[in-house]
Structure 1
Amino acid sequence: MGGMSADTSPFDKFVELDLETFKWQLMPAMPTPRYATFAFLVDDKLYVIGGRQGKIPSVAFEMFDFDTRQWTSLPDIPSKRVFAMYATDGKHIFSVGGLLQPANQGFSDICESYNIEKGTWTTCQNMPTKRGDFAVGIVGGKLVCAGGLGNDGKPLSVVEVFDVDSNSWVGVTDMPSSHCSCSYTMYSEQLYVCGGLSCRGPSNSMEALRFD
């Protein structure tokens, strides 16, 4: 979905790989060309959110229905940021943190939640730590934000957890290492944070978070 062309212009292309034939085919193009987006598959629908057009952050939020093979434009992300992070618990799509625009305003503590059933955005309790470019996932039904880059210009080890039902944040034990621009993934109800940049330079550390 999307991406950047050779002349750095954003793409609207959407292509599909058939895993039986290993052949690519064009799908209906996205309504908004952009790159550096996030995408989530919820049931039979694909949600594509955020991204950039050049240095300008995109607030576009669109959904592709695989049954009808049509795109629908959803309500824009409420606030414009780059390096914001996104996650879904299957009922909500969260938009958290990022670099405010203009960039001299620094990193953001914004937390916004899109209710998939209702089709509406809610501005939630602010994240305790302003940051961008961090690891994010759903652990034990709660949104976890780990590491990232803070307004002091240093990678963070701070971990904070958001409960959408109580609209509240709580801090948990810091990661053993600081991470920003890191890789991360969910596996077996755990959030794994790998590599990236630490306060000591490039990192080869990997940590996992779970709630017992």
Structure 2
Amino acid sequence: MARAAAGKHRKSTKFVFVCVGLLGAALITDLLWASSSSSTTFIPYKSSGTMMSWPPPESSSDSFLRNHSARGVTDKDKKDGIHGRILSKTFADLPGPELKWEKMTESPVPRLDGAAVQIKDQLFVFAGYGTIDLVHSHVDIYNFTSNTWGGRFDMPKEMAHSHLGMVTDGRYIYIVTGQYGPQCRGPTAHTFVLDTKTKKWQDMPPLPIPRYAPATQLWRGRLHVMGGSKEDRYTPGVDHWSIAVKDGKVLEKEWQVEMPIPRGGPHRACIVAGDRLYMLGGQEGDFMAKPNSPIFKCSRRNEVVYSDVYMLDDEMNWKVLPPMPKPDSHIEFAWVVVNNSIVIAGGTTDKHPDTKKMILVGEVFQFQLDTLKWSVVGKLPYRVKTTLVGFWDGWLYFTSGQRDRGPDDPTPKKVIGEMWRTKLSLPLS
């Protein structure tokens, strides 16, 4: 009898403990729910480096909120599955004036990751992918005066087909390194100079190490090559080399090592204006070849797009300037200098926070060099990356690249050869 009573007592005590435990768990769950419900969901601004000395641009969350207030939330928008936050498929689009675009004669071939330089009223357009398995090995020329294409000629057989570094002095075009072949093949260190009057090519000393899409410019009598991706196509390079050149001739036997750039990587704009050298945007990381793939098939890796702007000063030190309105990459030939301003068209920005897909840029940005202020001065007819830009007689032109899937889908789709122009009127400081 005593054992039976004791057993009943133990069962009763156990039951009480279980009830207390369940009640405690319910209270804790309720407190946690209340805490998470009352907190504010946001997308933090990520600084692109400790050197940033200016206020950050408008955060992605601000862009997101304004975007929704402007167009409303639709069935096409997606939830992140965690906080119930709704994310627009047009993530990070910035407001800007509409421009009147006119469609011109299309390029003879579509191009992705090609290159272009403007000399007076001619735009020399080089190489690029036609498809992921096809690369071009010739030059097409667009004449802004007659608005026609013509003058096609071949590139040297050893010259890279994409991710080139390129710049002109007004007659000669200097071409360095880049990717040789389709898919995600390796880089070449070959360098060349083209005389645009005679259409003759000459070799230059090879770059010390091959690079993909390095920033390239002529500054104070020297050809500067900076950054890009290393031989694996992914790792950012911070190397900076220069060599003396004049009138298409190389005046030194070897490349000189210069001050490394603050942040490495490919697909950035590199510009000389007012005797100052600027580097804008770009990214770290890129597609890589699949291991053991006999055709070097491209495989996507993580990429970090940034909005950093740097200027090389008289002491050959890098100075940090106000960042771009949003991170922007694939803009190496998507710029012109107009009225003491740098104008940049399109590109790619941060990947979509929900789908993780690449997001293209459809804005036209202006950077005023006297005030160091950024603004959105217009919208392209669609979002596009690695487009090739020129400016003539008040008209802003762009051609080639890879465009979006439509107004509500900013992910990349079709490689294009279209040529567009708009009359550009820039606000002055």
Give the TM-score band, short-chain normalised.
0.7 to 0.9
- 1:83-162 equivalences in 2 (<5 Å): 83-89=267-273, 91-100=275-284, 104=302, 106-115=304-313, 117-134=314-331, 135-151=334-350, 152=352, 153-162=358-367
Render the CA deviation track for 1:7-61: whole Å, top value 9, x for unaligned: 9454333344567987655433333332322432346322222222222222222
How many Å separate the matches in 2 of 1:73 and 1:29? 14
How many Å separate the matches in 1 of 2:285 and 2:324? 18
- Preserved CA contact (<8 Å) 1:92 1:113: yes
Q: CA RMSD in A?
A: 3.1
How many Å separate the matches in 1 of 2:307 and 2:343? 14
Aligned to 1:157, the other structure's residue is in SS state: strand
Unaligned runs of 5+ in 2: 1-175, 287-300, 353-357, 407-412
The total of aligned residue pairs comes to 211
Choose from 371, 382, 387 the match for 1:166: 371
Render the CA deviation track for 1:111-163: whole Å, top value 9, x for unaligned: 11223x43221111111111211322212121122211222333221122112
Choose from 261, 264, 286 the match for 1:77: 261
Unaligned runs of 5+ in 1: none
The alignment status of 1:13 with 2:190, answered yes or no, reads yes
The structure with the greater share of residues assigned to strand is 1
The alignment status of 1:56 with 2:231, answered yes or no, reads no
How many Å separate the matches in 2 of 1:31 and 1:90? 29
The share of aligned pairs that are identical, in percent, is 22
14-23 or 93-102, which deviates more: 14-23
The structure with the greater share of residues assigned to helix is 2
Equivalent in the alignment of 1:207? 421
Give me the TM-score of the superposition, normalised by structure 2.
0.43
Instruction: Give the aligned residue type for 1:36.
Output: A
Which of structures 1 and 2 has the larger relative contact order (alpha carbons within 8 angstroms, sep 6+)? 2
Aligned to 1:196, the other structure's residue is in SS state: strand
